[in-house]
Structure 1
Amino acid sequence: MTIMNKYTSALSTVLAAGTLFFTNCSNVDVNKMAEEQGMTINPSPLELHGDSVVFDIETKLPPKLLKKGYTYDVVVQYNPNDAEPIEVGVVSFNGDDYADAPEATPALSEHMAFAYEDKFQRGQLEYLGRATKVKNEKVKESNDGAFAAMPNGQGQGVITTVKNVQPTFIANYADHGYNNAEEYIPTNVDFFFMQGSSVLRSSEKRGAEGKELTNYVSAANPTKTVTITGSHSPEGSTEANTKLANKRPEAVEAYYSSLMKKYKVAEDEAPQFVTKPVVENWTAFKAILKDSDKFTDSEKDEVLSVVNGSGDFVSKQLKLQSLASYKKLFRYVYPPLRNAKSEILQIKDKLTDAEIQSRAASISEGQMGLDSLTTPELLYAANLSSDLDAKVKIYEAAVRKDDSAIAHNNLGATFFAQAKEAKDADAAMALVEKAIPHFETAAKSESLPEAYANLAGAKLLKGDVAGAQADIEKAAASSNPQVAATVNAVKGYVAIEEGDYDGAIQYLSSAGDDSGVLYNKGLAYLLQASKSGASDYSQASSAFAESINAKDSEWAHYGAAIVAARQSKADDAIKEIKASGDLKTKAAQDLEFFSLWDNADFQAATK
């Protein structure tokens, strides 16, 4: 905002009253001294930041006024229109400090503050001059002890733009728990081969594993892939074992293909076959040995010392042949290694999104039973719907189905979403009140972080900042990005209220692109510049513009009007005020627009 220039008429009354007291000289030019002294208040009007009004006061006295042995105090008070005056501070001059420099201009700057109450918004900074002779403590006050208003209208009232911060509530939906991606049901079929053979025996085909495969293929189950891994026992050459590890999966694939042909599985429904040989690998060997009860612990240790020792695969096999327990190895461990293991991934039968939505609509209208969809399917259907009224009906059906925490939270979140689109504040608050019991139920039953985040937003709207802070801490550990954004939005709101604008900007920059969040970020930038005495409001302007683009916001237009007024852009300020809806009447009394109060176009715009 425009800072008032230095004034040259301050302390006139004080000096006129105290001059003879200080000097006892009738030839002192009191009027000249009065013209040369000054008092400056910065900022003016005063501004609220956090819970306090903070300002700087610079006081200058004319040369030769102060004398050794005397003090001169400027007592400052704030006199509200609707409350008793409160003393703010004192600027104290000591004549002894200037005794050796009679031509100097005594000047002091003080940083002052007072706690703010709403009844202090309209009022006036005032001062009283008090001269004291140190030796006998004789005191003389200006204007017969009556406080006088600061010169040139300085310190009139308190700008409370910080109170324009708006509570933001974001609809936080908990995950519906439904996986709409293609899912698979694994089936495992293992076939075993004779030593040195890759022929799939008839006994294997007729056995339990063969029957399971036959039943699976004959059922024409939709199948994604069939992965067949071939293995071998340790004996034999590397060349022979490599061949066996490749040929055994091929034999199983051929048998699978023959079954598809037999049961007339269409070519375009055939799965993708993946064959993988496992050659000269001790992992399965060691697992079988570990689980076997045919070996003593010392025998197992002896075998493992070979397997885990030095040498290549073939040399280790030769060492195993020399062990006393080799016959047991060959009988109990080697046969299970001569295999081809298949993992068949059956495509899980699922309803299409369209089918889920259709059933959900019928359920919500009472045309189908609640058991026509699972709870995750029902919640997923609500998630798919873009119509908020339809969402409400589906979530209400989900609540009736199993009274789950997620259903309650998401129903409340939809009421939140409706509140954000409500045409007036009363309708919006009614929807928020409707949402709160569902959030409370969800929070109690499963401590859902989404529910706590939603409760925090609701409590902010109701003015319960402490309650909102308590709930947001319970949601802070959530991995849900929307919840994280809400946490930062609430913390940003609180930081603005406390006057921590740097912290607010940091939080709100990670709070998403909700229109209310962007407005508060713009406000934080504006207040940060104001508090630091800066005149660059470009970041505030950008954030207000982003808020308007996200959702046309009366408050964002109002914020943009304040920026324009502070930059002395009257036409832009009036344009934004016209776009601020019902807030235009607020502008008529807002000290932010003090410089425009006499502007006819401003007066017309704020009617």
Structure 2
Amino acid sequence: MKKQSIKVIALLAVASMTATSCDLLKDLDYTVTPDPLEMHGDSVAVKVDITFPEKGIKKKAYADITPMLGNTALKSIRVQGEKATGNGEVIQYKPGGKITYTDVVAYAPDMEATDLMVTGKVFKGSKEKATIEPIKIADATIITPYLVNKDFKVIIANDQFKRVTPETMLAQINFDKGKSIVKPGEMKDQDIKDLEAFLANAQTNPKIDVKGLNLTGFASPEGEEDKNNTLSTDRSNTGKEASMKVAKAAKHEGAQGDIYSLKGSGEDFEGFKRELQADKEMNEDDKNLVLRVLETIKDPAEREKAMRDMGKTFTYLDKTIFPKLRRTEIVVNYDKTGFSDEEMKMYSVSKPDTMNLEELLFCAALYTDLNEKLRVYKIAEERYPDDYRTSNNVGAVLYMMNKVSEAKAKFEKSNAAKDNPIAKNNL
């Protein structure tokens, strides 16, 4: 295997991007296994470990990275900073992180004389900010396994197990109209009790590592805009004070320190539209009228006047919808460490139902004993028959045990669950 580095180059067509784009994503390391790539059967399997250094990706940036093998584009992977929105692999700003990319593609003749490259695009918000300059990360494909069938080896489908996963825990503090004082009753709500219990457990649980608390204050969309902006900020501040009291009661030392991120978001129009659409009492005509006012009148003062002119409709909003928006949202960001190797082996025997698919696939790979490996893969196949990897991997172990006809049946079952190049290779 070899390591390569990538540099992010700003889009030349937009000179104004140059000052900021280079900073969004930088100094990535790629480790490709195997290097050079190899063909087995009629396919090429690619595995790339991508390492992000500390501050390697900005918090609000995201990137679509696409490996290229000759003229063939492999599947893209999206990575994103800790505050970016989306469904990509989240990388913490500090201390960085590591992800593993895998794909299997059908062999094409041009892959023999080409290299594995990566390219892509970098975004911030909805705007493309930079391109990833194409760079070689592995040598061309060796086709010897295709030419010499006696060296053929079955392929085991990879797991997607992650030992440490980023998780969140949520709580909320509500406020009276125009106020930022935390009422005593709010501290008795179930979500605050759950927050205290979580922090108490996290203090003594080595598998829970609290990374930070994000507090966002909101105001309902009536009243003066400037006052609501100030009010939302005040609510985030008093929310922090309340959260630190909860942390103190839970005896969680870290959550009493400097790990808070505060933000005042002003008037919560998105939350208002969400609550309005979910409301079951107001008729659709009134809802549509309110939404039209929100979307067409941009001046805050005129918009509020139009809403107040709705009479009973505004009264209903003031009593039912607005109170839900006067709040501080508390988001606890933490890393959760999964089962150790030994725990997985133990639970695969005593409590296999406590293990998910990726844990079972990872656990099976820990064993060198083929009987144990087969036992765990069979558990995975029984519980997750619709995932093509389970039957394929049962078949792969059966093939290693020289049970060729049984293995063939499993490969066919795998390909029936989902048409896939791994099972086809093994057939």
TM bucket, shorter chain: 0.5 to 0.7
CA distance in 1, matches of 2:171, 2:179: 19
The residue type paired with residue 417 of structure 2 is S
Task: Give CA deviations for 1:555-580 in whole Å, capped at 9, x if unaligned.
Answer: xxxxxxxxxxxxxxxxxxxxxxxxxx
Cα deviation for residue 251 of structure 1 reads: 1.6
For 1:256-267, list aligned pairs within 5 A. Answer: 256-267=243-254
Cα deviation for residue 204 of structure 1 reads: 0.8
Task: Give CA deviations for 1:364-402 in whole Å, capped at 9, x if unaligned.
Answer: xxxx647397364343134356xxxx1524322214535
Equivalenced residue count is 267
Specify the alignment match of 1:440 in structure 2: 409
Of 180, 191, 201, 2:173 maps to: 191
Q: Alignment partner of 1:174: what SS? A: coil
CA distance in 2, matches of 1:340, 1:268: 17
The residue type paired with residue 395 of structure 1 is K
Cα deviation for residue 175 of structure 1 reads: 3.0
Specify the alignment match of 1:453 in structure 2: 424
Of 339, 342, 345, 2:330 maps to: 342
Q: Which has the higher helix share?
A: 1
Task: Give CA deviations for 1:306-345 in whole Å, capped at 9, x if unaligned.
Answer: 2121332232112222222322222222221111122334
CA distance in 2, matches of 1:287, 1:373: 36
CA distance in 2, matches of 1:246, 1:172: 56
Specify the alignment match of 2:229 in structure 1: 242
Structure 1 position 277 matched with structure 2 position 264: yes
For 1:203-352, list aligned pairs within 5 A. Answer: 203-220=185-202, 222=208, 223-267=210-254, 272-324=259-311, 325-352=313-340
Structure 1 position 200 matched with structure 2 position 171: no
Specify the alignment match of 1:10 in structure 2: none
Of 393, 396, 399, 2:374 maps to: 396
TM value normalised by structure 2: 0.53
State whether residues 236 and 262 of structure 2, in contact with CA within 8 Å, keep that contact through their aligned partners in structure 1.
yes
Call closer, same or farther: CA 1:213–1:455 in 2, change over 3 Å. closer
Task: Give CA deviations for 1:230-268 in whole Å, capped at 9, x if unaligned.
Answer: 110123323211111112122222212122223322338
State whether residues 226 and 344 of structure 1, in contact with CA within 8 Å, keep that contact through their aligned partners in structure 2.
yes
CA distance in 2, matches of 1:259, 1:314: 38
Call closer, same or farther: CA 1:203–1:174 in 2, change over 3 Å. same
CA distance in 2, matches of 1:330, 1:373: 47
Cα deviation for residue 299 of structure 1 reads: 2.6
Structure 1 position 377 matched with structure 2 position 356: no
Task: Give CA deviations for 1:51-74 in whole Å, capped at 9, x if unaligned.
Answer: xxxxxxxxxxxxxxxxxxxxxxxx
Call closer, same or farther: CA 1:411–1:255 in 2, change over 3 Å. same
Of 146, 161, 172, 2:155 maps to: 172
Specify the alignment match of 1:512 in structure 2: none
- What are the ranges of 5 or more consecutive residues in structure 2 without an aligned counterpart? 1-145
Call closer, same or farther: CA 1:413–1:391 in 2, change over 3 Å. farther
CA distance in 1, matches of 2:354, 2:192: 36
The residue type paired with residue 423 of structure 2 is Y
Q: Look at both structures and tell me which one has the larger radius of gyration over its CA atoms.
A: 1
CA distance in 1, matches of 2:254, 2:377: 45
The residue type paired with residue 375 of structure 2 is A
Q: Alignment partner of 1:198: what SS? A: coil
The residue type paired with residue 230 of structure 1 is G
CA distance in 1, matches of 2:274, 2:354: 44
CA distance in 2, matches of 1:357, 1:334: 48
For 1:526-605, list aligned pairs within 5 A. Answer: none
TM value normalised by structure 1: 0.39
Specify the alignment match of 2:80 in structure 1: none
State whether residues 364 and 372 of structure 2, in contact with CA within 8 Å, keep that contact through their aligned partners in structure 1.
yes
Q: Which has the higher strand share?
A: 2
Specify the alignment match of 1:601 in structure 2: none
Q: Alignment partner of 1:278: what SS? A: strand
CA distance in 2, matches of 1:439, 1:270: 59
Q: Identity of paired residues, percent?
A: 19
Call closer, same or farther: CA 1:313–1:171 in 2, change over 3 Å. farther
Q: Alignment partner of 1:224: what SS? A: strand
Structure 1 position 410 matched with structure 2 position 388: no
CA distance in 1, matches of 2:296, 2:254: 50
State whether residues 361 and 377 of structure 2, in contact with CA within 8 Å, keep that contact through their aligned partners in structure 1.
no
Task: Give CA deviations for 1:500-519 in whole Å, capped at 9, x if unaligned.
Answer: xxxxxxxxxxxxxxxxxxxx
State whether residues 363 and 376 of structure 2, in contact with CA within 8 Å, keep that contact through their aligned partners in structure 1.
no
CA distance in 2, matches of 1:453, 1:341: 50
State whether residues 378 and 390 of structure 2, in contact with CA within 8 Å, keep that contact through their aligned partners in structure 1.
no
CA distance in 2, matches of 1:392, 1:259: 51
Cα deviation for residue 280 of structure 1 reads: 3.4
Q: Alignment partner of 2:307: what SS? A: helix
Q: Alignment partner of 1:245: what SS? A: helix
CA distance in 1, matches of 2:154, 2:179: 65
Call closer, same or farther: CA 1:443–1:306 in 2, change over 3 Å. same
Cα deviation for residue 194 of structure 1 reads: 0.9
CA distance in 2, matches of 1:407, 1:337: 46
Call closer, same or farther: CA 1:286–1:441 in 2, change over 3 Å. same
State whether residues 290 and 300 of structure 1, in contact with CA within 8 Å, keep that contact through their aligned partners in structure 2.
yes
